[in-house]
Amino acid sequence: MRILEDVYLVGSGSFGLSHPTDPHVYLIDGGSELALIDTGSGVKTELIMQTVEQEGFSPRDITLLINTHSDCDHARGNYRMKQLTDAKTCIHEIGVPVVQEKLWPEIVLTKKGIPSYPVQVDRVLNDGDVLQVGRHELQVLYTPGHTNDHIAVVLALRGKRALFCGDLVLGAGAPGIIRLDANLIAWRDSLRRMRDLDPDALLCGHNIFTLSRGREHIAQLVQRFETPWADIAPGPGPFLPSWWLMRYPELIEDAREQPLPRPEPAV
């Protein structure tokens, strides 16, 4: 689904484009090269690749897999994506141990005996890095809070600014899931920084996104973060991966169905 010039939505559990446990997965078309923002949950990854091909692209032209953070719904798809493409995996330095070694021992898939596989991180990201994707330059911004390895990515398009913000902020001023280990002070500061960028398009990880006036959506959440912490979020919202799994636990079995070759160990 083309949503902006050179930007496509190719995966989404919220919008029914791919498995319900997927976040929004965005494709950036740089002409000679393509990049994905996030790789999904790793459950039925081929659904994402089918959409890539339906939009007229070849998976083999994907050169970068950019993780906004290491949550399993955003980064567990790295392993299968690297099998299907020639792309390099990129994540903030704090997230490297998660995707190379730790592999989400706390998630329900692991507890059900469904393995996750390590991937070698090819490029470690830090604040201020610039990624080249064909004709486009992507600016990396460190935005901790939802997780301590969270980044956002800025893409300039004909004088307008698109912000890929992961789970830092969702449309209509909603936050991503706030866990017990979330750093709310850092989250608030990251939100203020993103608000001050004055983005046009706010391309978030779940639920609705907006193609204009993105600053207003961020400002709504900044305002909420300046109230008592207990008032920020009552719990997981509908159509997030955890919501789907709580309502339909049989979705867990979709991950078990996938025959995967024995992985090469991460170096």
Does the pLDDT at position 235 exceed 60? no
Mean pLDDT of the chain: 92
Q: How many CA atoms lie less than 13 Å away from 172 in the CB half-sphere?
A: 4
1 closest CA partner among 213, 209, 254: 209
Backbone torsion region of residue 40, taken as left when φ is above 0, otherwise alpha when ψ lies between -120 and 50, otherwise beta: left
**What's residue 226's pLDDT?**
86
For 179, which DSSP code? -
Q: What is the DSSP string of 82-146?
A: HHHS-PEEEEEGGGHHIIIII--TTSHHHHTT--------SEEE-TT-EEEETTEEEEEEE--SS
Two tokens at 235? 């719990």
CA 156 to chain centre: 19
Q: Are 62 and 35 in contact (CB under 8 A)?
A: yes
pTM for the full model? 0.90
CATH architecture of 2-256: 4-Layer Sandwich (3.60)
120 pLDDT tier (thresholds 50, 70, 90): very high
Exposed / middle / buried, residue 70 (Cβ in 10 Å: 0-12, 13-18, 19+): buried
155 pLDDT tier (thresholds 50, 70, 90): very high
Place of tokens 């002070």: 185
Q: Are 35 and 63 in contact (CB under 8 A)?
A: yes
The arithmetic mean of pLDDT across residues 209-224, rounded, is: 95
Q: Which range is least confidently modeled, 33-47, 192-206, 214-228?
A: 214-228
Two tokens at 213? 């006036």
**What's residue 136's pLDDT?**
98
**What's residue 229's pLDDT?**
63
- 233-239, long-range: CB < 8 A, 24+ apart: 233/174, 233/175, 233/177, 233/178, 236/177, 237/174, 237/207, 239/13, 239/14, 239/206, 239/207
Does the pLDDT at position 190 exceed 80? yes
**What's residue 38's pLDDT?**
99
The whole-angstrom separation of Cα 137 and Cα 30 is 9
Q: What is the pLDDT of residues 68-112, one digit of tens each?
A: 999 999 999 999 999 999 899 999 999 999 999 999 999 989 999
Question: What percentage of the chain has pLDDT greater than the value 70?
Answer: 92
The whole-angstrom separation of Cα 201 and Cα 29 is 16
